[in-house]
A and B are shown apart, each in its own frame.
Chain A
């Protein structure tokens, strides 16, 4: 990329951030919570794009390539999140012997729906080439197939809403919510969680070693000679806004942002909000799924019935993630409209999206809500969902190798 390109990209990116600032001011005039969630969304989208922090590849590449780049970042993010969530929850529920749950942590009913939700989500995200957050940030980069996948997710969430009451009656209503601090106290739960994350780390490193050589990413991050303060600042700006980020700091930052969001209101997660959009659209055409049993009593990314309103704080989070990624991609010169040439890719993205959406509906969240925010909630459902995500990703990897 020439300096001229970089300058042009900087102008485009500054324009995008100016638009983001205008939205901030407008959102703040409606409700201060809207503007706060807009900023969180922008921050999540920016970090996801800069590091190309893809949950689907974190799982898939272990099986497909024997490569754990993204999984290592993910594990670090989970560890940072667990420490932060653990501290917050120990203040929210000081006495763990009373059977009380932290009000907004993602401690979800644990049952067959958790495993099947994770399994379907894992298959779907590999088929579609990205999970829900991955599709959102790739939509901002100009991947048309990710827009198709996102539409599929909306459809899958709607289908899950039609079957929700059956799941509720048969499984979810009576399923236990298993929160580790109830069993082993706050310190014990945190230590067990961190040890388990370390064990997964050892496992993925051993897989990498069995697979052999991993070529380090191109050394674009090499620091050029800096002669003046201006040069030095310019090189720092380039490393933040133009060059891709290493995945470890990005994972830690996403974990820390998640802790901040949890402290401010609730953990990171948004498939509940996306379900509100699809259920809302269905009700416009008179195809609403009807009352959803029990959803008001559940935390996390459980399905949200249409409330007839347009604005919601979570709307700003989701749109912020998309726009933050778009602004980041434009600034780095990574925005490009990418149209798959093979028709099968559109079918694959749509089908993968539908499968993912259904899994997120019954699993009460995606790789974020039911996993990245659930393991730090020191909840067993996060581990079960994650384990089945891995199995699903393995099955998905077998499938994509058979689709040319």
Chain B
């Protein structure tokens, strides 16, 4: 399974969220997961909401000081239902 990655470290508000949303919209149908690296704390609230609206769920993991990996996965069951 391929895995698309997006590094939005250093970005100003609200681009971490906006670039994640546009990457999710462009995510090929056969891919289920987008991995986002961010150092922008407000994105930890805005990305899960926007991802949920597009039918994805978000798992957040802190990888370094003020740096997080967001694993955004397509919600297959909901997409089919």
Please report A residues at the B interface, Cβ cutoff 8 Å.
1, 5, 52, 54, 56-57, 60-61, 64-65, 67, 69, 128-130, 143, 145-146, 211-215, 217-218, 244, 333-336, 338-342, 345, 348-349, 400-401
Contact = CB atoms under 8 A, between A and B. Distances in A.
Contacts of A400: 14-15, 18
Nearest to B49: A215
A130 B49 contact: no
A1 B60 CA distance: 13
B11 A218 contact: no
Interface string B37-70: 0011110111011101100001010100111000
B39 A214 contact: no
A340 B12 contact: yes
A214 B9 contact: no
B48 to A, nearest CB: 4
Contacts, number: 81
Contacts of A338: 9-10, 39-40
B41 A218 contact: no
Given A213-B53, A341-B10, A333 B66 contact: yes
A213 B17 CA distance: 16
A61 B39 contact: no
A65 B41 contact: no
Contact of B14 (A52, A57, A340, A349): A57
Nearest to A340: B10
A213 B52 contact: yes
A197 B60 CA distance: 35
Nearest to B58: A215
A65 B11 CA distance: 18
Contacts of A218: 44-45, 48, 60
Interface of B: 9-15, 17-18, 39-42, 44-46, 48-50, 52-53, 58, 60, 62, 65-67
Contacts of B67: 336
B45 to A, nearest CB: 5
A176 to B, nearest CB: 37
Nearest to A138: B13
Given A64-B18, A130-B13, A345-B15, 17 more contacts: A1-B62, A1-B65, A52-B41, A65-B17, A128-B12, A215-B48, A215-B49, A215-B58, A218-B44, A244-B41, A333-B66, A335-B66, A336-B66, A336-B67, A338-B39, A340-B11, A348-B12
Contacts of A214: 49
Question: DSSP majority for the A interface?
Answer: loop
Contact of B42 (A57, A212, A213): A57
Contacts of B66: 333-336
B11 to A, nearest CB: 6
A12 B46 CA distance: 29
Contacts of A213: 49, 52-53
A57 B40 CA distance: 14
Enumerate the 3 nearest inter-chain pairs by beta-carbon distance, A residue then B residue, closest first.
A129-B12, A129-B13, A336-B66
A65 B49 contact: yes
A376 B10 CA distance: 36
B62 A345 contact: no
A129 B41 CA distance: 14
A152 B55 CA distance: 39
A339 B13 contact: no
Contacts of B17: 65
B39 A336 contact: yes
Contacts of A1: 62, 65
Nearest to B11: A340
Contacts of B42: 52, 54, 57
30 contacts: A52-B41, A54-B42, A57-B14, A57-B42, A61-B14, A65-B49, A67-B46, A67-B49, A128-B12, A129-B14, A130-B12, A130-B13, A212-B53, A213-B49, A213-B52, A215-B45, A215-B49, A215-B52, A217-B45, A218-B48, A333-B65, A333-B66, A336-B66, A336-B67, A340-B12, A341-B10, A342-B11, A349-B12, A400-B14, A400-B15
B77 to A, nearest CB: 16
Contacts of B60: 218
Contacts of A130: 12-13
Contacts of A211: 53
B24 to A, nearest CB: 14
B50 to A, nearest CB: 7
Contacts of A69: 45
